[in-house]
Structure 1
Amino acid sequence: MESGKDLRITLIGAGTIGLSFAALHLSHLPASSHLTIYDTRPDAEQYIRDNLPKFFSKASLPRSTSDVKIATSLHDAVSDADIIQESGPENLPIKQDLWAQVEKHAPKDALLWSSTSGILASQQAQKMQDPTRLLVVHPYNPPHLMPLLELVPSPSTSETAIRRTQDFWRARHRVPIHIHQETTGFVANRLAFALLREAIHLVDANVVSVAELDRIVESSMGPRWAVAGPFKSYHAGGGPAGLEGFFNNIGDTVQGCWSDAGNVNIGDGWEDKVFAQAREVYGTVDIAERDRITRRLLDVLEGERGKKTL
């Protein structure tokens, strides 16, 4: 069903993540399929018509955004959907109430996905009659560009729902990773926020500035990790002995860094300093430039990796 014709996808929420997912779905939906968006803002239709095209370059708009149906009620939005994906506020009571309502009106075999950044599926599903249908599909921002999707089921989520979700995203050349246990922040954000915490510590301790730290990441681990993750990178760094050799060679330095890692917390007083530097250096970040460069980088990586199969 998910890869066939007449696929009906409903997106709930037309914020940045919701519209980014809309752009992704429009890029892959066949002409016979349908995309519906439901959002509670009073000017939802005009807002979506004005902002959705911004997620495409002029040459890459695959279908007219006028093909998107803007639903005016939750019932109309979900009553005949094959996939229902919410990108609403990060508010547990709102999500719990939403899924209880969706469940009443959606087809019994519809896939139910949450794009939350941190609210577990087991928490969201507490008011549902059938929690086996719901799982988190957490994107890495912006999802219309970034390949990763973390699939985070609750202990109740069915294997069928997980498998159907994986099949859907693989058919669209994304990277759906099944996260085997619910954990705060899932995996990608835990890794990113660990680096962010140490970055804040180093800036707050006057070891480096915000701009200098960003240049360090952009000129070292940034491009390296685009090619290989930390395990593969350090396995290569250990030479013929691999990861074990790496730790044998510089394990003392690694442990020294771990032991000396900054223990910063929100509210500790670093905020004024770090936020002021970020404002001074970057002002308002040019998101279009970020996305353009990211797209080119991902195209190069896909091309290089594709050579391995030739």
Structure 2
Amino acid sequence: MQDPSIEIALIGAGTIGLSFAALHLTQNPNCTITIHDTRPDLQTYIQRHLPTYLPENANQEPYLARLSFANELPTAVKNAQIVQEQGPENLEFKVAIWAEIERHAREDALFWSSTSGIPASAQSREMQDPTRLLVVHPYNPPHIMPLLEVVPAPQQTAEAVVENTLEYWRELGRTPVVVKKECTGFVANRLAFALFREACSLVASGVVDVKELDEIVQASMGPRWTVAGPFKSYHAGGGEGGLTSFMEKIGGTVKNCWDASKEDVTANDVSVGGKWQEDVCKQADEAYGVVDTAERDMKTRKVLSAVADS
């Protein structure tokens, strides 16, 4: 799909927008990027913050030379082959901005929303041609994490839009996965927040503290899941009989854990804003303070590189 030169318009320059800018610039040498954002000091802001997302030891000038800025939305999108939006998580904002983008963009431009939870079918409500829009949801930060959840609107998004989107990201070495149904939070967040709720419940119950729970995850399922997801892992755990055998042998324990989880979540009122929240957040503050995300990202890169090279 990549043309000799491809122009990308990024709408919104928050942390996700900057991360996507770094991803495009470093992985696609044929692209130029125009950033549109309502910040009055946009150019100064980008020049100050974007370099922290780019490779540390590389000459950053060639990346920055392919970057431009647009104060007006029509100017940003008029020549773009790809328009990627990462604005506020507000339905009315997204409905309005996609209708405006459509009026000024090329007829063949791909429209991507980086939303964390607002489906394309809702965002495209005021578009003349809603078949053009789909969700491309990253796992943060996208310039490091390879997953992109591609979520078309059912019976709406054109198949060619989906295929061209997949082709673009695969050529950049990412892992785009089509989510077949629109669902709250898509897939990665549903899984992550399910584990997070169980973690909060166990800490609230006094089984472990925050730091101990993190150590357990980092020393067990964390490294395991970098090479095999839950289905492959438990399928392997069943030996020659696979997942069927695993459930026959361990299914009782699985059921007991699921039942206990429901009981503990209810007993400790593990809901957002519940009484447990203040104590768990306090433990996290005491254990970690301000997390060095640069160190986290460096280690994550090393893990991903090791898995890719194996």
Determine if the TM-score, normalized by the shorter chain, exceeds 0.5.
yes
Alignment of 1:191-206 (within 5 A): 191-206=191-206
Is the contact between residue 18 and residue 50 of structure 2 (CA under 8 Å) also seen in structure 1?
Answer: yes
- Aligned pair 1:47/2:40, yes or no? no
Note closer, same or farther for the CA distance 1:138–1:121 as it changes in structure 2 (3 Å cut).
Answer: same
Alignment RMSD: 1.1
- Aligned pair 1:276/2:282, yes or no? yes
Following the alignment from structure 2 to structure 1, what is the Cα–Cα distance between the partners of residues 306 and 67?
31
Is the contact between residue 144 and residue 301 of structure 2 (CA under 8 Å) also seen in structure 1?
Answer: yes
Structure 1 equivalent of residue 3 of structure 2? 4
Alignment of 1:58-69 (within 5 A): 58-60=56-58, 63-69=62-68
SS for the counterpart of 1:45 is helix
Shift of 1:61: 5.1
Is the contact between residue 26 and residue 63 of structure 2 (CA under 8 Å) also seen in structure 1?
Answer: no
The one-letter amino acid paired with 1:221 is M
The answer for unaligned runs of 5 or more in structure 2 is none
Is the contact between residue 5 and residue 30 of structure 1 (CA under 8 Å) also seen in structure 2?
Answer: no
From 287, 295, 301, the counterpart of 1:289: 295
The one-letter amino acid paired with 1:180 is K
Structure 2 equivalent of residue 229 of structure 1? 229
Shift of 1:270: 1.2
TM-score, structure 2 normalization? 0.95
- Segments of 4+ in structure 1 off by > 4 A? none
Structure 2 equivalent of residue 147 of structure 1? 146
Partner deviation per Cα, 1:252-308 (whole Å, 9 max, x = no partner): 10000111112421122111111101111111110100110011111111101xxxx
Partner deviation per Cα, 1:225-247 (whole Å, 9 max, x = no partner): 00100000001111111111111
Note closer, same or farther for the CA distance 1:153–1:286 as it changes in structure 2 (3 Å cut).
Answer: same
TM-score, structure 1 normalization? 0.95
SS for the counterpart of 2:226 is helix
Structure 2 equivalent of residue 160 of structure 1? 160
Q: After superposing the two structures, state which structure 1 stretch, 55-64 or 153-162, moved more.
A: 55-64
Partner deviation per Cα, 1:41-92 (whole Å, 9 max, x = no partner): 1111100011000012322456331430011110110001000001111111
Note closer, same or farther for the CA distance 1:169–1:276 as it changes in structure 2 (3 Å cut).
Answer: same
Is the contact between residue 136 and residue 151 of structure 1 (CA under 8 Å) also seen in structure 2?
Answer: yes
Following the alignment from structure 2 to structure 1, what is the Cα–Cα distance between the partners of residues 180 and 130?
17
Shift of 1:186: 0.2
SS for the counterpart of 2:124 is helix
Structure 2 equivalent of residue 259 of structure 1? 259
The answer for unaligned runs of 5 or more in structure 1 is 305-310
Fraction of identical pairs, as percent: 55
- Aligned pair 1:83/2:89, yes or no? no
- Aligned pair 1:28/2:27, yes or no? yes
Structure 1 equivalent of residue 305 of structure 2? 299
Structure 2 equivalent of residue 308 of structure 1? none
SS for the counterpart of 2:195 is helix
Is the contact between residue 118 and residue 185 of structure 1 (CA under 8 Å) also seen in structure 2?
Answer: yes
The one-letter amino acid paired with 1:293 is K
Following the alignment from structure 1 to structure 2, what is the Cα–Cα distance between the partners of residues 196 and 59?
35
Structure 1 equivalent of residue 173 of structure 2? 173
The aligned length equals 302
